[in-house]
């Protein structure tokens, strides 16, 4: 698996508690590295890092979507088969959905590694 830590310099995190309490959206920025050299010559590197990070986030979101869709399908099937079937099959359904999401993410990352070669 590729190491993306050298590309990620800062993470922005929305504060859900501030939004719930005040209705305002507060964003907290966390610098992962202390940069003493603030050269603007690194714009191409920043664009490349942003693109790479964006691809990773997009693939993770896609894998989560696939896992959620799988769980919803299994939930509905279990509930149609018997009374409270969704509750009886909760554990196996969650495990199968997690497995689907993991496979989707692994496949996407493997395809990305093959195209980089």
The 10s digit of each residue's pLDDT in 21-58 is 666 667 777 666 665 555 555 556 667 778 888 888 88
Asked if pLDDT for residue 82 goes beyond 90, the answer is yes
Whether 2 is covered by a domain: the verdict is: no
Give the residue-averaged pLDDT of 62-88: 93
Q: pLDDT tens digits for 4-22? A: 666 776 777 776 666 566 6
**Helix/strand/coil for 38:** coil
- Work out the average pLDDT over 58-76: 92
Classify residue 5: in a domain, yes or no.
no
If one counts the domains in the chain, the total is 1
Residue 1 lies in a domain: no
Note whether residue 54 is domain-resident: yes
Host domain of residue 66: 10-116
Indicate whether 95 belongs to any domain. Answer: yes
Question: pLDDT > 90: what percent of the chain?
Answer: 36
Residue 49 lies in a domain: yes
Characterize 61-87 residue by residue with b for buried, 16 or more Cβ atoms within 10 angstroms of its Cβ, and e for exposed.
eebeebbeebbeebbeebeeeeeebbe
Please report whether residue 89 resides in a domain.
yes
Give domain status of residue 104, yes or no.
yes
């Amino acid at each position: 698996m590729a190491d993306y830590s050298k590309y990620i310099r800062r993470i922005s995190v929305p504060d859900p508690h501030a939004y719930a309490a005040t209705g305002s959206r507060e964003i907290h920025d966390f610098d992962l590295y202390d940069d003493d050299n603030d050269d603007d010559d690194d714009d191409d590197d920043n664009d490349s890092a942003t693109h790479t990070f964006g691809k990773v986030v997009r693939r993770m979101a896609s894998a989560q979507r696939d896992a959620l869709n799988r769980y919803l399908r299994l939930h509905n099937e279990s509930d149609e088969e018997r009374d409270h079937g969704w509750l009886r099959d909760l554990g196996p359904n969650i495990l199968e959905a997690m497995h689907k999401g993991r496979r989707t993410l692994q496949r996407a990352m493997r395809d990305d590694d093959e195209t980089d070669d």
